[in-house]
């Protein structure tokens, strides 16, 4: 059984390598990560981050990642390691109040109650203010001689991604509209967005919420992408993509994938064997970032052609609204 699993991963990786472009290839050097503890004095709020650094001293495009409810900056190292290995500075933001702190010290019977309580409007507002604060901090450090990140970042090319509550945060930064389409938190310094397990708005319709988003978007979900917290069903998640009428957009629906299949369950930052969902996610997101943050024409061709489909299983659904 183990042999078959390893063989499957090898076959997926091989299939995702058409001549001239390989979104799964990474450098030989080991990716390093560093942590920083930031404080937003205006809000009296701590915002911890983990930064994965590529093996280059040249300014690299930046990718921000927002964790799901109950997560942390240490989640999903498979994404941080791969994206940094592809030449990006990757910043994992930890949102206090909706992070692992809401459940770690709770009794088992109280965990779900604590998590549901943390999925609040207040936590959402904290998140949408955390992201501009972090970009401001990165901009400052990029010009600060002696700082670990001095001169390391190309902040004219920023992408953002997130899973679940992190996808909701990413949707907000991408320009989702609220209150019947009248209000937005759009962060104009972000150029492209990847939403893992996207969500419909709690109030109002999808067309008004997402119809004005113009930045390129990649959506990833699964046929079993449900969550015990929140009202979005797997069917609901599929309604976001059609509403992105003004944005170049791509979507994959993994056959059989659950809400948790986008995460990495191993504790800490050690490397782990990846599922077929992880491998395909790495290929698709790397090509998306390369196309829209680096302007790589080969990546765009891979994304729009046979390359992307070759990274998927037969029953996975792949669609695009590429402009």
Give the residue from 278, 198, 208 showing the smallest Cα distance to 243: 208
Name the pairing type of β-strands 183-184 and 177-178: antiparallel
The residues facing 318 across adjacent strands are 252
Q: Which residue has the tokens 């109002």?
A: 204
Q: How many CA atoms lie within 13 A of 88 on its CB side?
A: 30
pLDDT digit string, tens, across residues 211-255: 999 999 999 999 999 987 767 899 999 999 999 999 999 999 999
What pLDDT, on a 0 to 100 scale, did the predictor assign at position 113? 74
Task: Give the pLDDT of residue 19.
Answer: 55
Which of 302, 308, 207 is closest to 254 using CA atoms?
A: 308
Q: Give residue 40's region: left, alpha or beta (phi > 0; psi -120 to 50).
A: beta
Is 166:79 a contact under the CB 8 Å cutoff? no
Q: Which helix (DSSP H) or strand (DSSP E) does residue 288 occupy?
A: helix 276-293
Return the CATH number at 216.
Answer: 3.40.50.1820
The parts of the chain modelled with pLDDT lower than 50 are 1-18, 267-269
Supply the range of the domain harboring residue 233: 2-321
Structural domain count of the chain: 1
CA distances from 36 to 46, 47, 94, 120, 203 (A): 10, 9, 11, 26, 36
- Beta strands 153-163 and 183-184, pairing class: unpaired
Q: What is the pLDDT of residues 124-148, one digit of tens each?
A: 999 999 999 999 999 999 999 999 9
């Amino acid at each position: 059984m183990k042999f078959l699993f390893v063989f499957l991963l090898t076959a997926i990786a091989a299939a995702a390598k058409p001549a001239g472009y390989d979104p799964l290839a990474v450098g030989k050097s080991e990716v390093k990560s560093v942590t920083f503890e930031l404080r937003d004095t205006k809000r009296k709020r701590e915002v911890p981050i983990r930064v994965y650094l590529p093996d280059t001293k040249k300014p690299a495009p930046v990718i921000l990642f927002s964790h799901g409810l109950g997560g942390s900056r240490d989640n999903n190292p498979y994404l941080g390691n791969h994206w940094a290995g592809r030449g990006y500075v990757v910043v994992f933001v930890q949102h206090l109040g909706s992070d692992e702190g809401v459940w770690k010290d709770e009794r088992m019977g109280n965990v779900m109650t604590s998590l549901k309580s943390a999925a609040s409007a207040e936590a959402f507002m904290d998140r949408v203010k955390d992201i501009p604060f972090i970009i401001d901090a990165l901009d400052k450090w990029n010009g600060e001689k002696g700082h670990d990140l001095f001169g390391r970042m190309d902040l004219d090319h920023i992408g953002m991604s997130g899973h679940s509550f992190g996808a909701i945060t990413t949707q907000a930064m991408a320009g989702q509209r609220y209150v019947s389409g009248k209000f937005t938190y759009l962060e104009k310094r972000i150029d492209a967005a990847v939403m893992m397990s996207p969500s419909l708005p709690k109030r109002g319709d999808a067309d008004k919420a997402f119809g004005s988003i113009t930045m390129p978007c990649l959506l990833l979900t699964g046929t079993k992408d449900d969550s015990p917290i929140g009202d979005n069903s797997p069917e609901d998640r599929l309604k976001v993509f059609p509403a992105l009428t003004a944005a170049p957009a791509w979507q994959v629906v993994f056959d059989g994938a659950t809400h948790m299949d986008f995460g990495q369950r191993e504790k800490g930052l050690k490397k782990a064997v990846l599922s077929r969902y992880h491998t395909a996610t790495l290929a698709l997101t790397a090509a998306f970032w390369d196309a829209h943050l680096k302007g790589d024409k080969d990546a765009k061709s891979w994304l729009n052609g046979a390359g992307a489909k070759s990274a998927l299983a037969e029953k996975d659904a792949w669609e695009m609204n590429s402009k």
